[in-house]
Amino acid sequence: MTSEMASKLMQFCSFTLVRKCLQLGLLAALLSLPAQAGTLPTLVMPEGVGINIHFTRGHEKELDMIAAAGIRVVRTDLKWDETENYKGVYDWSAYDELAANLAKRGMRPLFILDYSNALYEKSTPKIFQSLWSYHEVMSPRSPSSIAAFARWAAAAERHFSKYNVIWEIWNEPNIKFWKPKPNVEEYARLAMATCNAIRAVNTNATVIAPAASSFPWDFLEGLFKAGVLSCLDGVSVHPYRLFKLPETVTEDYARLRKLIEQYTPANIKKTIPILSGEWGYPTVIRGIPLEDQADLAVRMQLINLLNGVPLSIWYDWKNDGQEPGNYEHNFGIVGSDLTLKPAYDAIKTLTAQLTGYRLVQRVDIGHRDNYALLFANAKGHSKLVVWTAGRANNVRIAAPTLPRNTQLTLIDGRGLRSALKLDGNWISIRLTNSPAYIAP
C-alpha cells in the first residue's frame, strides 16, 4: 500500500465508520503498513516515542526508568574526538555498553555523529568576555578532515550494525555548533560524504539530517539544493517553540514538506519523512509549570503523529542542573536526582494507553482548538484522545458505532480512570489542556 492510498484510507475511516472499516479489514491493512524509508519507526505507537540523554556508561537504573515509560528510541551524541584519539584507531567501548543496555531493554539508539577532532582540523583561539581565551576546533571543512569524519562514521556503522542504529549527521549545524560559524555549503559537503560512506558499508542503514535548530528556511533550502535528499531517509528538525503551543507546528511542517517535495530528486520514489529530533519545554521558575510541561509533552507526540511525523524525541531525560531559573537545567521529565516530574507519568500513560495503536484521523468536533484523535489497533479496538489547545469547554462527540448501553472509560493524563456514560449516541465531555483517553 502506498502512502497516498494510506492517506485516503485514513480519511475514509472516520469515527462513525470505524467499525465498518474494521469489518472490511481496511484498518488492519493500514496498521500493517511497512516501515518508513530505511528502518525508521512506523506510525504505530509507541515505536517513535524517543528521548534525549547525556550519558553512555552505567546509569542502568535510569535506562530502566526510561524503558518503563514506554520510550523506544534513545538519542545521544556519538562524539568524534572521544572515540578517535589516534588517527584511524577507534574506541567504541563506552557506546558498546550503552547500545547493549538499550537493546536489552527493547530500545533503539539514535547516535548523533558529531563534533570535530583536533587530529584533523585546526583550532583557533576564542576570546571570552575579554578576560580569558580558549581554543575552538573548527568543524570538518577541509577535504582531508571531511574524509576522516566519513571514514569514522562508516566504521561506526560497521561496528554497531547489529543494533539498527539511526545515524544523525551533526547537531544543529545552522547555529553555534558549526565552527567557526554556520555555513550550509560546508555542512552539505560533510553530510553527503558521511551519508555515502555509511551507505557503502550498509545500503540499508538509516541516515537522517540535519538536526536543524528550529526551521531555518534558507539553510534547509540550501542543503536540499546541494542534493542531500538523494541520500537521506529522513529530514530531522528541532521544532522548539518555548512560548508557543505544540499545535502551532502544523504550518511549519506543511511548509517543510513542500520544500522536501520540491527538491527530492525524480529518481527517489519514496516519501522522505520529517522527524522531530529534539523538542521540549523547560520547567523554569516563573515559566512553564510542571503540570503544563506534562500536557505539552503528550500533545507534542500527538500533534507530530497527526502531521505524519514518525519519530519524536523529547528533550530532555533529566534536568541537567539545579538552578531553577536556568532553561538548560530544567528540560527533564525527571529531576537531576531522578525525582519524577508529572511529565514522566504523562508520557507513561500515553504509551500504556496507545501501545499497538495507529492514528486513524482527527475527528471534527467543532472549534479548531478542540482535538479528538481516533486511534485503532489491528485487533479492532479503537480509542479517542481528546483535549483543547484553548480554553476548557464542553463538547458532544457522535458515537453511533457503539452498542447501546456501552460503558465508556475515561482515562486522564495521569492514568486515573472514571466512568463515562453515553448520552444516546453522544459522548459528552469537558475538554481541558490535558489529553484524556476514551475507550469502551
* pLDDT, tens only, 309-327: 999 999 999 999 999 999 9
Q: Bigger pLDDT: 332 or 6?
A: 332
- How, if at all, do strands 370-377 and 382-388 pair? antiparallel
Angle between helices 217-225 and 249-263 (to 10 degrees): 20
Q: What is the mean pLDDT of residues 255-270?
A: 96
CB proximity list for 56: less than 8 A, separation 6 or greater: 76, 94, 95, 97, 98
Indicate whether 194 pLDDT > 50: yes
- The rounded Cα 15 to chain-centroid distance in angstroms is 27
DSSP symbol at 324:
T
Instruction: Work out the burial of residue 335: count CB atoms within 10 Å of its CB; fewer than 13 is exposed, 13-18 middle, 19 or more buried.
Output: middle
Q: How many residues does the chain have?
A: 440
pLDDT band with cut points at 50, 70 and 90 for residue 419: very high
What does the pLDDT look like over 264-300, one tens digit per residue?
999 998 999 999 999 999 999 888 999 999 999 999 9
Rounded distance between C-alpha atoms, residue 261 and residue 286, angstroms: 42
The Cα diameter of the chain in Å comes to: 76
d(CA 385, CA 427): 13
Q: What is the pLDDT of residue 288?
A: 92
**Can you give the pLDDT at residue 366?**
87
Domain 1-34+358-440 CATH class label: mainly beta
Give the other-Cβ count within 10 Å of 48's Cβ: 23
Q: Read off the pLDDT of residues 30-64 as tens digits, 9 standing for 90 and up.
A: 444 433 345 899 999 999 999 999 999 999 999 99
Which residue type does 44 have?
V
As a whole number of angstroms, the distance between CA 371 and CA 15 comes to 13
pLDDT, mean of residues 111-129: 85
pTM of the prediction?
0.90
Residues 6 or more apart in contact with residue 152 via CB below 8 angstroms: 80, 83, 84, 90, 113
CATH topology of domain 38-355: TIM Barrel (3.20.20)
User: Would you say the C-alpha torsion 93, 95, 98, 103 has a positive or negative sign?
Assistant: negative
Asked if residue 193 lies in contact with residue 139, where contact means CB atoms within 8 angstroms, the answer is no
Q: Do domains 1-34+358-440 and 38-355 have the same CATH topology?
A: no
Q: State the burial class of residue 174 (Cβ atoms within 10 Å of its Cβ: 0-12, 13-18, 19+).
A: buried
Domain boundaries, the chain: 1-34+358-440, 38-355
Closest by Cα among 183, 175, 77 to 140: 183
